[in-house]
């Protein structure tokens, strides 16, 4: 038998695949399922994006390899977005296009860290940070995020011995799974912390535009005047394009150059028409974003109201399309989530999918219509 890489022992099968497999089995047996699990938006793809995708199929040599760093049209649109929304000026060599933010995260590890280097990751947090670190031979150091500190890391609690061995510090605001947001003061503090120790700070800003309708998005780079850090962006969540697999990384040009070197050796970029569709998406009037925000605001408010009525505690956040909830007393995380699925056909994500500090929590994704949300959350009555 062929022996597989030992590093695979350090990671589990992607949790959402496990949940999806169980869900499909129940559906096959005739059960109706309401999925409040994975964060895959149900909102309709904008028609102009579709048209741009189809139109781009007629571009000369569309079937050939794209530029390794991404097409200039998309990079220029990202640059315009950062200038218009954040008043940040970027150059072309400070932008690279990725095959989604997940790929950007994974490709970043071998660009910066060596085997045995530490990588600071949030706990609870998006598990790709930990899995990618393990797969590339780095050592993930999990920093606790707690409700008491509004799910922001306490920098003073990071041992100096760890900080000095760390190459990358991953943060994710607005935050998955908690919905927590970070402000300018926090960004300044953490940039200062990282600059003093030569750590690359990486903000995964996948949910930057999924905030309250009247709110203004914040970029890490607004507090990073030296452009010493980087930000990972996702076009998936904002524009309902998860299946397109398209994102970007912006900031420190030396890091971008290293990332390009890695990517040019392990992938050949995203299909050109998808990049044109992404450029069209970013160019759309911001009213399109506000329409989505209004829908999620409404869903979030209704979900919170029902959860409160049912006696389910939750973190009162107003960003992302998630609600981070406490498992009812008397149940373990698995007991609660399994009972919801097998008895009532409701999928939620167990909190431990985001790290061990997610035990006794679960995450609700507001990526289905209000009727489904109300029907699903009404089942929580039986857990009092």
Extract long-range pairs of 43-49: CB within 8 Å, 24+ residues apart: 43/240, 43/292, 43/295, 44/240, 45/239, 45/240, 45/241, 46/239, 46/240, 46/281, 46/284, 46/288, 48/280, 48/284, 49/239, 49/241, 49/277, 49/280, 49/281, 49/284
What mean pLDDT do residues 90-103 have? 97
3-class DSSP state of 322: strand
Domain 63-284 has CATH 3.40.640.10: yes
Task: State the pLDDT at residue 81.
Answer: 98
Return the bridge partners of 8, or none: none
Q: Which residues contact 32 (CB under 8 A, 6 or more apart)?
A: 345
Third-level CATH fold of 6-44+287-379: 3.90.1150
Span 266-288, mean pLDDT? 97
**Measuring CA to CA, which residue among 371, 342, 365 is closest to residue 353?**
365
pLDDT of residue 14: 66
Domain borders along the chain are 6-44+287-379, 63-284
> Does 17 score more than 90 pLDDT?
no
Query: 261 or 26: whose pLDDT is higher?
Result: 261
Position 3 pLDDT exceeds 80: yes
At 262, list the tokens. Answer: 């890695």
Contact 347, 36 (CB under 8 A): yes
- Mean predicted confidence (pLDDT) in 80-98: 98
The CB density around residue 73, as the number of other CB atoms within 10 Å, is: 15
When computed from its CA atoms, the radius of gyration of the chain, rounded to whole angstroms, is: 21
Give this prediction's pTM. 0.95
Of 183, 190, 71, 66, nearest in space to 122 by CA: 190
Residue with tokens 């925000």: 293
Structure confidence at residue 384 as a pLDDT band (50, 70, 90): low
pLDDT in tens, 355-381: 999 999 999 999 999 999 999 999 887
pLDDT, one tens digit per residue, over 292-315 is: 999 999 999 999 999 999 999 999
For residues 190 and 184, what is the distance between their CA atoms, to the nearest angstrom? 10
Longest dimension (CA), the chain: 63
Phi-psi region at 70: left, alpha or beta (left = phi > 0; alpha = psi -120 to 50): left
Phi, psi of 138, rounded to the nearest 5 degrees: -85, 170
Residue 275 has pLDDT above 90, yes or no: yes
Q: Region 92-96: what's the mean pLDDT?
A: 99
| pLDDT exceeds 90 at position 151 | yes
Per-residue pLDDT, averaged over 208-227, amounts to: 96
**One fold for 6-44+287-379 and 63-284:** no
21-30, 118-127, 237-246, 266-275: lowest mean pLDDT where? 21-30
Give yes or no for residue 74 having a pLDDT over 80. Answer: yes
- Statement: residue 113 has pLDDT above 70: yes
Q: Which of 18-32, 109-123, 202-216 is least confident?
A: 18-32
């Amino acid at each position: 038998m062929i022996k597989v890489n030992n590093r695979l022992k350090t990671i589990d099968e992607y949790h959402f695949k496990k949940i999806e497999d169980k869900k499909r089995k129940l559906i096959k047996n005739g059960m109706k399922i309401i999925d409040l699990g994975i964060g895959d938006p149900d909102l309709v793809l904008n028609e102009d994006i579709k048209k741009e995708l189809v139109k781009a199929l007629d571009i000369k040599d569309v079937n050939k390899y794209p530029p390794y760093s991404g097409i200039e049209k998309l990079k220029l649109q990202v640059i315009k977005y950062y200038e218009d929304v954040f008043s940040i000026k970027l150059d072309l060599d400070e932008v690279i296009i990725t095959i989604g933010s997940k790929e950007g995260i994974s490709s970043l590890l071998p660009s910066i860290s060596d085997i045995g280097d530490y990588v600071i990751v949030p706990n609870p947090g998006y598990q790709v940070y930990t899995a990618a670190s393990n797969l590339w031979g780095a050592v993930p150091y999990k920093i606790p995020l707690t409700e008491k500190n509004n799910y922001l890391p306490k920098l003073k609690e990071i041992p100096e011995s760890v900080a000095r061995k760390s190459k990358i510090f991953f943060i994710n605001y607005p935050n998955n799974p908690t919905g927590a947001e970070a402000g300018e003061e926090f960004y300044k503090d953490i940039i200062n912390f990282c600059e003093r120790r030569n750590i690359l700070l990486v903000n995964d800003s996948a949910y930057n535009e999924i905030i309250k309708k009247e709110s203004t998005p914040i970029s890490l780079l607004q507090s990073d005047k030296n452009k010493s850090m980087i930000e990972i962006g996702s076009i998936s969540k904002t524009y309902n394009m998860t299946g397109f697999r398209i994102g970007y990384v912006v900031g420190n040009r030396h890091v971008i150059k290293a990332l390009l070197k890695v990517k040019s050796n392990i992938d050949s970029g995203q299909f050109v028409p998808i990049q044109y569709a992404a450029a069209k998406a970013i160019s759309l009037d911001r009213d399109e974003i506000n329409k989505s925000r209004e829908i999620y605001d409404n869903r979030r408010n209704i979900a919170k109201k029902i959860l409160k009525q049912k006696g389910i505690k939750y973190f009162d956040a107003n960003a992302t399309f998630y609600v981070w909830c406490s498992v009812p007393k008397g149940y373990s995380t698995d007991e609660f989530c399994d009972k919801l699925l097998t008895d009532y056909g409701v999928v939620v994500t167990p909190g431990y999918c985001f790290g061990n500090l997610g035990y006794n929590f679960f995450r609700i994704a507001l990526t289905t219509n209000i009727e489904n949300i109300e029907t699903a959350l009404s089942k929580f009555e039986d857990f009092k």
